[in-house]
Amino acid sequence: MILYGSLVPDFARTLYCYLIAKFRNENLIIISLYEHIGDIISCEPVIKYIKETRKPCFIVWALNKSYKELLKTHPDVDYIFPLNYFSEWIMLKKFLLLLLQPSQIIDLHINGKRCSKFKRILVKKDNGVNIENFLKEKNLLQSFSRLAGLTELNSAPGFFIDKRMQEYELHGKYVVFHTNSNSLWKNWRQNHWERLCREINSMGYYAVEIGVKKEIQEGGNKYIDYTGKKSLQAIANMILNASLFIGLDSGFSHMANALNVDGLILLGQYTINGTIIYKYNPFSGNYALSPFIIYAENKAVKELEYSKVIKRIRDKLISVHSTSAKIV
């Protein structure tokens, strides 16, 4: 009953968008990627692609309501369709196919994706992209665009800041850390993060930790805990003005990439369904390039040597300092 209750406003929103698009004499395009932060941000170029190739168009993005802030300020998204459960999208898509042509529905999800709440499974055309090869030799944007039946895209994502959501203005140079991903195999050792934090302090920078979970317990006298429940736009504002972003394969790394902030991302191998992927890069844009990545060669991120990381960080910060001095 909970699911069916959610569908009533979904159908009403669909009809609203349909009528507005018809009134404007525009093509209604429904894009859907339900979750997560990094996936949605990495697929921002899909909006640009649709805007350029399907004009005039009225673009709707259907996603988990928790992630609305990621797209609410995007100038080319006409309407954000908030969903409570992935099963809503599975059922809504069937309704949409009664109103629209299949080409008007851009379903970026992988075939077989399951709703964690109601266990419904999305069934769509199998185009060769699956969970085992999703990031093998491809980045997120390339794979997601193929899953939707689009041209394989590989351009840099953008992110549109709402400056009104800035909660904390830090006076002084700082480096942002994101220390936890959604999978243990992507994480670095806690003691390395703490040592890194203190060393960053000694170089004259504040160290700001972001994310839901606090990892750093002993961060030095210039450590700032910005973890916990924060708005996504507030976190974006914090990242935007950082001298450097240091993170993992996580949503906030994709945010930093889309904000064009200088960064270093720690990546290593991972295993999925028994298949080992020794080297991958989920990013398009700047973070697809080697100057922004530190690889744990043929091993998990937790095995990445501290000396290798701190050397790359020092080089980055020296470069930032030299550039700033020249500008002055």
Domains, the chain, with CATH or none: 2-147 (3.40.50), 170-327 (3.40.50.2000)
Taking CA atoms, 82 is separated from 8, 27, 103, 212, in Å, by: 13, 21, 21, 22
pLDDT at residue 50, rounded to an integer: 98
* DSSP string across 177-218: EE---SSGGGPPPHHHHHHHHHHHHHTT-EEEEEESS---S-
Helix axes of 2-24 and 86-99: crossing angle, nearest 10 degrees: 40
Burial class (CB in 10 A: 0-12, 13-18, 19+), 195: middle
pLDDT at residue 320, rounded to an integer: 66
Residue 121 DSSP class: B
**CA triple 204-210-215, angle to 5 deg:** 90
15 contact partners, CB below 8 Å, separation of at least 6: none
Q: How far apart are CA 207 and CA 227, in angstroms?
A: 12
Q: Are 121 and 87 in contact (CB under 8 A)?
A: no
Q: Are 273 and 132 in contact (CB under 8 A)?
A: yes
Looking at the DSSP bridge assignments, the partners of residue 247 are 265
Q: Which of 41, 96, 94 is nearest to 63 (CA)?
A: 41
Q: Which of 168, 218, 180, 213 is nearest to 198 (CA)?
A: 218
Taking CA atoms, 196 is separated from 177, 215, 216, 311, in Å, by: 10, 12, 10, 11
pLDDT at residue 274, rounded to an integer: 77
Tokens 């005039």 correspond to what residue? 56
Q: Which of 76, 52, 77 is nearest to 63 (CA)?
A: 77
Q: How far apart are CA 259 and CA 238, in angstroms?
A: 11
Q: How far apart are CA 310 and CA 322, in angstroms?
A: 18
Residue 253 DSSP class: H
Q: How far apart are CA 281 and CA 265, in angstroms?
A: 10
pLDDT at residue 222, rounded to an integer: 95
Q: Residue 9 has which token pair? A: 């406003």
Strands 275-277 and 270-272: antiparallel
Widest Cα–Cα separation across the chain? 64
Tokens 């954000």 correspond to what residue? 80
Say how many residues make up the chain. Answer: 328
pLDDT at residue 322, rounded to an integer: 53
Strands 293-295 and 275-277: unpaired
pLDDT at residue 328, rounded to an integer: 38
pLDDT at residue 117, rounded to an integer: 93
Q: Mean pLDDT, 10 residues at a time, over the chain (328 residues)?
A: 76 95 97 98 98 96 98 97 96 94 97 94 88 87 96 98 88 94 91 97 96 93 94 96 97 98 95 83 97 94 97 90 46
